[in-house]
């Protein structure tokens, strides 16, 4: 949880009224974490760059990233 504390201390969204980060899932599987980030962006309305309503300007994983589905599948396997 030290990582969250460090990130929160100087996060660019603090000035926009976003509160501290809240842990969702924990894993050392970087692919799963990457996929989970994308799942959360999509689950919260999608990235603004794609006319979404989440607080994220862009997706965590580009649609052009050839590994996108691999990351999503890793998240499903790890967290669902």
What's the pLDDT tens digit per position in 23-80? 899 999 999 999 999 999 999 999 999 999 999 999 999 999 999 999 999 999 999 9
Answer yes or no: is 53 within a domain.
yes
| Cα 72–chain centre separation | 11
Asked if residue 6 is part of any domain, the answer here is no
Residue 12, in any domain of the structure = no
Residue that is written with structure tokens 């809240």 in the block: 22
The reply to whether 7 falls in a domain is no
pTM for the full predicted model:
0.86
Residue numbers of the domain that contains 54:
29-80
């Amino acid at each position: 949880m030290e990582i969250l504390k460090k990130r929160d201390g100087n996060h660019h969204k603090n000035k926009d009224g976003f509160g501290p980060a809240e842990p969702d899932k924990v894993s050392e599987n970087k692919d799963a974490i990457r996929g989970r980030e994308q799942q959360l962006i999509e689950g919260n309305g999608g990235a603004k760059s794609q006319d979404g309503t989440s607080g994220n300007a862009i997706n965590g994983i580009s649609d052009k990233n050839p590994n996108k589905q691999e990351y999503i599948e890793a998240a499903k396997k790890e967290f669902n």
